[in-house]
Amino acid sequence: MTKRLLWSGLLAGIGAVASVATTKLAAVIWRKAFDEDPPE
């Protein structure tokens, strides 16, 4: 039971970090491609 909760927490944490990293990377690419901030 405890291992399952730890696993779920680990997956959620990695998913959140991956989402933030993906958003930042996409913003960098957008700025380089269009020389402006990405739309919100």
Asked whether the predicted pLDDT for residue 36 surpasses 90, the reply is: yes
pLDDT category at 40 given cuts 50, 70, 90 is confident
Boundaries of domain holding 34 = 1-40
Q: Is the model's pLDDT at 1 over the cut of 90? A: no
**DSSP string covering 1-40:** -HHHHHHHHHHHHHHHHHHHHHHHHHHHHHHHHHSSPPP-
pLDDT score of 13: 98
Summarised one tens digit per residue, pLDDT across range 5-31 is 999 999 999 999 999 999 999 999 999
38 has a pLDDT exceeding 90 = yes
Per-residue buried b or exposed e for 3-18, using 16+ beta carbons within 10 Å of the residue's own CB: eeeeeeeeeeeeeeee
The domain tally of the chain equals 1
Q: Are 30 and 18 in contact (CB under 8 A)?
A: no
The tokens describing 34, both together, are 């269009």
